[in-house]
Amino acid sequence: MTMRRRPTDAGAVESRAGSRGGRRALAVLAGATALVLALAACGSSGGGAGASSGSMVRVPSDAAPAPADGRVAVVPAGLLGAEEAKGLLWMREEEKLARDVYLALADLWDVRVFSNIARSEQAHMDALETLLDRYGLEDPAAGNPAGVFTNPEIQALHDELLARGRTSLVEALKVGATIEDLDIVDLRERASDVADIARVYANLEMGSGNHLRAFVANLERRGGSYVPTYLTQEDFDAIISTPRQRGQEVAP
C-alpha cells in the first residue's frame, strides 16, 4: 500500500498567510468560542502561515477570558511557525479524509460504527478550522465536496483506502483502523509547543484512540484482526488496552 507524506511547499503556505493577515483580528473572538465547542465535541465521540522560523504570525492572546470553573478554557493563540502551519493544513484534510471515507462506507455497509465516527471526524475538522481562522490560514478543504482534496497525496490516499473498503466489510473495518493508526502517528509527529494547537491535537489523538479501539473491536467480532501499519506494535497494544477516554476538561 503506497502512502503519503507531508505537504512540502512552505513558500506557498507563507504567501497565503501574508495575504490573509487582515482577517486574523476579526476571526479571534468568533474562533475562541468555536474552539471551546469543537474541543468538547472531539473528546465525546463514540467510537500561508508564518513565513519561516524567523517570521512568525502572532494573534492577540486576550481574545477571551478563561472560564473559572475548570472546563476547557480558550487557549491563547501563540506564535505560529511554518511547520505548525503546514501541519494544520495537512491535518485539516486528513480529518476530512477520515470523515469522507467513513460516510461512504456507512452508506455501503450500513454498520453504525462508520456513521458514528464520521460525526466525530466532523468535530475534529471543526476544531482545526477554528485554528486556521485564528491564524489567518487559507482552508484547503473550503468548497471541496466529499472525496475531493486540495493536497494530491491525501487525494491519492483517500482513493486507495476507499477502494479497499469497498471490497468487503472486514476490509472496510481494517481501513477504518488504518486511518486512525495513521492519524495518531501524524498528530504525534506534528506535536507543537503552541498552546492552542497542542490542546486541539491532544483531543484529536484521544478521539482517534477511541476510534481505533472501536474499529478493532468490530473487526474482531467478525473474526478479523488488525496489524498496525504506522504505530509500533507496543504503542498499538497500549492504545487497545486503554479504556475509552474523554476530552480534556482541565483549563490550562
Is 70 part of a structural domain of the chain?
no
Q: Tell me if 248 is assigned to some domain.
A: no
> Does 131 reside within a domain?
yes
Per-residue pLDDT of 30-40, as tens digits, reads 444 444 444 44
Q: What's the pLDDT tens digit per position in 148-162? A: 999 999 999 999 999
Backbone angles phi, psi at 58, to 5 degrees: -120, 135
Spatial separation of the C-alpha atoms in residues 124 and 144, rounded to whole Å: 17
Give the model's pLDDT for residue 79: 81
Q: Please determine, for residue 120, whether its predicted confidence score (pLDDT) is greater than 70.
A: yes
pLDDT, average across residues 135-152: 97
191 C-beta neighbours (distance < 10 Å), count: 12
Residue 132 falls within a domain, yes or no?
yes
Burial degree of 214 (CB within 10 A; 0-12, 13-18, 19+): buried
Question: Lowest-confidence range among 66-80, 93-107, 125-139, 162-176?
Answer: 66-80
Cα dihedral angle (158, 159, 161, 167), rounded to 10 degrees? 150
* 179 within a domain of the structure (yes/no): yes
Mean pLDDT of 134-151: 97
User: What is the chain written as a DSSP string?
Assistant: ---------HHHHHHHHHHTGGGHHHHHHHHHHHHHHHHHHHTT------SBTTB-EE--S-SSPPPSSSSPPPPPP-EE-HHHHHHHHHHHHHHHHHHHHHHHHHHHH--HHHHHHHHHHHHHHHHHHHHHHHTTPPPTTTT--TT--SSHHHHHHHHHHHHHHTT-HHHHHHHHHHHHHHHHHHHHHT--SSHHHHHHHHHHHHHHHHHHHHHHHHHHHTT-----SSS-HHHHHHHHTSPP-----S--
Say what the pLDDT of residue 14 is.
Answer: 39
- Percent of the chain topping pLDDT 90: 64
Higher pLDDT, 52 or 146: 146
Looking at the domain assignment, is residue 245 inside a domain?
no
How does residue 245 score in pLDDT terms, banded at 50, 70 and 90? confident
Q: Is residue 71 part of a domain?
A: no
pLDDT recorded at residue 104: 98
**201 vs 197: CA distance, rounded Å:** 6
Mean pLDDT of 109-137: 96
* Residue 215 burial (C-beta neighbours within 10 Å; 0-12, 13-18, 19+): buried
Confidence of residue 244 (pLDDT cuts 50, 70, 90): confident
- Which range of residues forms the domain containing residue 215? 10-60+79-240
Mean pLDDT across the chain: 78
- Rounded Cα distance between 202 and 122, Å, is 16
pLDDT digits (tens, 9 = 90+) for 99-119: 999 999 999 999 999 999 999
Write the CATH number for 92: 1.20.1260.10
161-200 per-position pLDDT tens digit: 999 999 999 999 999 999 999 999 999 999 999 999 999 9
The percentage of the chain sitting over the pLDDT mark of 70, rounded to a whole number, equals: 67
Q: How many domains does the chain have?
A: 1
CB 87 within 8 A of CB 132: no
Q: Which of 11-20, 106-115, 132-141 has the lowest mean pLDDT?
A: 11-20
Q: How far apart are CA 243 and CA 87, in angstroms?
A: 28
Higher pLDDT, 65 or 187: 187
In a domain, 43, yes or no: yes
